[in-house]
């Protein structure tokens, strides 16, 4: 105001001098009045302009400006309302922020009015590297937290408000949202199951650190909620989804972040996360002692030896003795089914979600446990053929077929769908199915069971009936893994990784196709459904016998083995001559008449 008064005094002084000049020069009264009116308008305009500058805080220091904000109420109700909207949006989900962007035409942050549209912000921040520039502007108060999140995060929603695609930072923002949400836990699982496909461990940790640092610009209690959520996400990552092969490179960075950033603000969570982090430094081999070997069933036997260490149980002396004592017909079908399931269960529970991803991408050598389980399933199918074709008597072959049908039915009852497919597949093989004389000796009940189980395991439409049975059952011991591996390969090839395929080596432009990764995660959950310990009694002697019988067949040439089965089948029951077929067909027709 002192400047305004000085300006007024100077103008009045000039007016008095001008009046004296006009009097001496003899100007008329009309001209004098005009110049006085013009000077008055100039003074009024200058006063208004200086008043607006003073109101905006141009003449005040930053400390004085903050004090003015705290002591003086806002005189414009509309601007106060917009400021409240801005703070409320800080605590909303990113999808709510994007939906309300068009309604929020302006946002006052630290008494600086900034008008930013969603499209202009997104166009100016198309690369991930500009996050750092935006964070600098955020620290200087140039942009608000809402505008920061809108700039670095782009999210596409379906009409049902389901996530269709989004940038990596947008997915991180939704992942670390601290508001109550019924779908966030499911999203967290889906995100970590598939994160290896669209980001590296370094990118993920960097985004989480940025999200943690953003909390300093939020008001209480939202800042602590955001920090707790980021710590929770780190805990879930390290405890349930840590992959030593791809994630070990960020251990040092994560430890430094916990020590220098988290510990001072949240000592409790920092201590717990540090403890988990130290356990992750344990060599990988010590954490997988209970897992089956990656080299196949033979080395799996070495990791799970029988409790009795007598000479009869040693691998070298076991084969000839046990083959004389045990056989399929002499063992209860229910007990045999349970012990086969126990072996498969150990393999199945050792499968990690990362193996499914690598199998899906065609890297089967990096999915050793899946490979071992697939070999064991094929070995069971070969064992079925071997035991049937080993019998030279027709009734004995029929009895063996009937026993395997009962074992398959037991698999169906305990929901070992992988074993069910193995046995039905073995019985449906041409070398076994063509043995009509042997099948004719079966009672009606086993035949009906086989027809029913054969319809369930029909491979049409990627085992559609079997997958429907799995999804409708509450307790499944072992799903049929082959159907879900095929489904994963189909999804990976059918859907694009990015909505906009404009990628370079350093910058990824466009939305991540979250619809694809959500489908992959859903299929992976079904494939790994039932990874709980097997609760039925363990018969290690019988399991070792099963291991040996299957292993003997696994380490043979598979093409030659299948050819040999068919030749043995033709030897046991030769093909009927055309004349014999015509005679039996004519007799059947005469009987029907």
| pLDDT tens digits, one per residue of 223-251 | 889 999 999 999 999 999 999 899 999 99
Residues 6+ positions from 64 with CB-CB distance below 8 Å? 57
> What number is the average pLDDT over the span 195-215?
92
Task: Label residue 413 left, alpha or beta by phi (over 0 means left) and psi (-120 to 50 means alpha).
Answer: alpha
> Look-up: residue for tokens 């920090």?
227
> What number is the average pLDDT over the span 174-186?
78
The pLDDT value given to residue 221: 78
> What number is the average pLDDT over the span 276-283?
83
Q: What is the CATH number of domain 297-572?
A: 1.10.840.10
Residue 122: pLDDT band by 50, 70, 90 thresholds? very low
Residues 6+ positions from 30 with CB-CB distance below 8 Å? none
* Minimum mean pLDDT range among 34-43, 147-156, 160-169, 406-415: 147-156
* Minimum mean pLDDT range among 381-395, 423-437, 487-501: 487-501
| pLDDT tens digits, one per residue of 404-443 | 999 999 999 999 999 999 999 999 999 999 999 999 999 9
> What number is the average pLDDT over the span 373-390?
95
Structure-model confidence comparison of residues 222 and 539, the more confident one = 539
Q: What angle do CA 314, 316, 322 make, to 5 degrees?
A: 70
Say what the alpha-carbon torsion angle 331, 337, 339, 343 is, to the nearest 10 degrees. 140
**Distance between CA atoms of residues 426 and 383, nearest Å:** 8
The pLDDT value given to residue 123: 37
The pLDDT value given to residue 15: 55
Comparing C-alpha atoms, which of 256, 286, 289 is closest to residue 273?
256
Alpha helix ranges (H) inside 92-221: 94-99, 118-124, 131-139, 145-152, 168-175, 184-198, 201-214
Q: What is the CATH number of domain 77-283?
A: 1.20.870
Choose from 121-125, 245-249, 554-558 the range with maximum mean pLDDT. Answer: 245-249
The pLDDT value given to residue 588: 46
User: What's the number of CA atoms in the CB half-sphere (13 Å) around residue 593?
Assistant: 5
The pLDDT value given to residue 37: 63
Q: Parse the chain into domains and list their residue ranges.
A: 2-70, 77-283, 297-572
* Minimum mean pLDDT range among 66-80, 270-284, 330-344: 66-80
Residue 400 has pLDDT above 70, yes or no: yes
The pLDDT value given to residue 293: 35
Q: What is the pTM of this model?
A: 0.67
| Average of per-residue pLDDT values in the chain | 74
Percent of the chain residues past pLDDT 70, beyond the cut: 62
The pLDDT value given to residue 19: 53
Choose from 132-146, 191-205, 310-324 the range with maximum mean pLDDT. Answer: 191-205
| pLDDT tens digits, one per residue of 5-64 | 565 566 566 556 545 554 444 445 445 555 666 676 677 677 776 776 666 555 544 434
> What number is the average pLDDT over the span 156-184?
80
The pLDDT value given to residue 177: 83
The pLDDT value given to residue 314: 34
Structure-model confidence comparison of residues 336 and 590, the more confident one = 336
| Residues 169/128, Cβ–Cβ less than 8 Å | yes
| pLDDT tens digits, one per residue of 330-356 | 999 999 999 999 999 999 999 999 999
Structure-model confidence comparison of residues 526 and 134, the more confident one = 526
Residue 136: pLDDT band by 50, 70, 90 thresholds? low
> What number is the average pLDDT over the span 176-193?
83
């Amino acid at each position: 105001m002192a400047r305004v008064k000085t300006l007024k005094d100077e103008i009045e002084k000039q007016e008095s001098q001008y009046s004296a000049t006009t009097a001496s020069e003899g100007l008329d009264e009309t001209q004098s009045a005009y110049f006085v009116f013009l000077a008055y308008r100039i003074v009024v305009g200058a006063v208004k302009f200086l008043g607006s500058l003073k109101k905006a805080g141009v003449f005040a220091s930053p400390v004085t400006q903050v004090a003015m904000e705290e002591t003086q109420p806002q005189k414009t109700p509309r601007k106060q309302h917009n400021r409240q909207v801005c703070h409320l949006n800080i605590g909303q989900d990113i999808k709510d922020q994007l939906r309300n962007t068009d309604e929020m035409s302006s946002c006052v942050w630290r008494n600086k009015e900034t008008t930013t549209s969603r499209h202009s912000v997104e166009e100016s921040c198309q690369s991930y590297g500009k996050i750092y520039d935006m964070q600098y502007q955020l620290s200087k108060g140039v942009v608000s937290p809402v505008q920061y999140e809108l700039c670095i995060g782009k999210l596409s929603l379906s009409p049902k408000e389901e996530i269709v695609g989004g940038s990596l930072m947008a997915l991180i923002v939704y992942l670390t949202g601290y508001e109550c949400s019924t779908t966030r836990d499911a999203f967290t699982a889906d995100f970590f199951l598939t994160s290896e496909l669209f980001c590296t461990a370094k990118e993920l940790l960097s985004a989480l650190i940025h999200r943690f640092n953003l909390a300093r610009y939020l008001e209480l209690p939202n800042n602590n909620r955001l920090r707790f959520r980021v710590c929770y996400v780190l805990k879930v990552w390290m405890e349930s989804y840590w992959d030593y092969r791809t994630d070990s490179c960020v251990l040092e960075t994560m430890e430094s972040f916990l020590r220098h950033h988290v510990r001072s603000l949240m000592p409790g969570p920092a201590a717990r996360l540090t403890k988990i982090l130290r356990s992750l430094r344990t060599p990988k081999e010590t954490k997988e002692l209970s897992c089956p070997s990656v080299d196949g069933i033979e080395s799996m036997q070495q990791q799970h030896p029988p409790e009795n260490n007598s000479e009869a149980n040693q691998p070298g002396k076991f084969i000839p003795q046990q083959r004389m004592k045990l056989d399929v017909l002499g063992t209860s079908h229910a007990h045999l089914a349970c012990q086969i399931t126990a072996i498969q269960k150990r393999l199945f529970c050792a499968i990690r979600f990362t193996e499914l991803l690598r199998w899906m991408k065609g890297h089967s050598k990096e999915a050793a446990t899946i490979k071992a389980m697939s070999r064991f399933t094929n070995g069971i199918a070969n064992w079925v053929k071997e035991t049937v074709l080993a019998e030279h008597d027709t009734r004995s072959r029929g009895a063996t077929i009937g026993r395997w049908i009962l074992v398959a039915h037991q698999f169906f009852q305990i929901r070992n769908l992988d074993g069910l497919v193995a046995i039905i597949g073995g019985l449906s093989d041409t070398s076994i199915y063509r043995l009509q004389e042997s099948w004719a000796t079966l009672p009606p009940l086993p035949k009906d069971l086989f027809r029913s189980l054969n319809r369930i395991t029909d491979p049409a439409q990627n085992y559609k009936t079997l997958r429907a049975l799995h999804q409708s059952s509450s307790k499944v011991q072992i799903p049929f893994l082959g159907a879900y591996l095929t489904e994963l390969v189909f999804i990976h090839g059918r859907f694009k990784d990015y909505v906009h395929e404009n990628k370079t080596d350093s910058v990824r432009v466009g939305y991540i196709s979250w619809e694809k990764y959500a489908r992959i995660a859903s299929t992976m959950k079904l494939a790994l459904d039932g990874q709980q310990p097997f609760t039925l009694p363990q018969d290690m002697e019988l399991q070792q016998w099963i291991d040996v019988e299957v292993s003997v067949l696994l380490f043979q040439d598979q093409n030659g083995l299948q050819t040999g089965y068919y030749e043995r089948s033709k030897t046991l029951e030769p093909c009927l001559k055309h004349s014999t077929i015509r005679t039996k067909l004519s007799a059947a027709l005469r009987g029907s008449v």
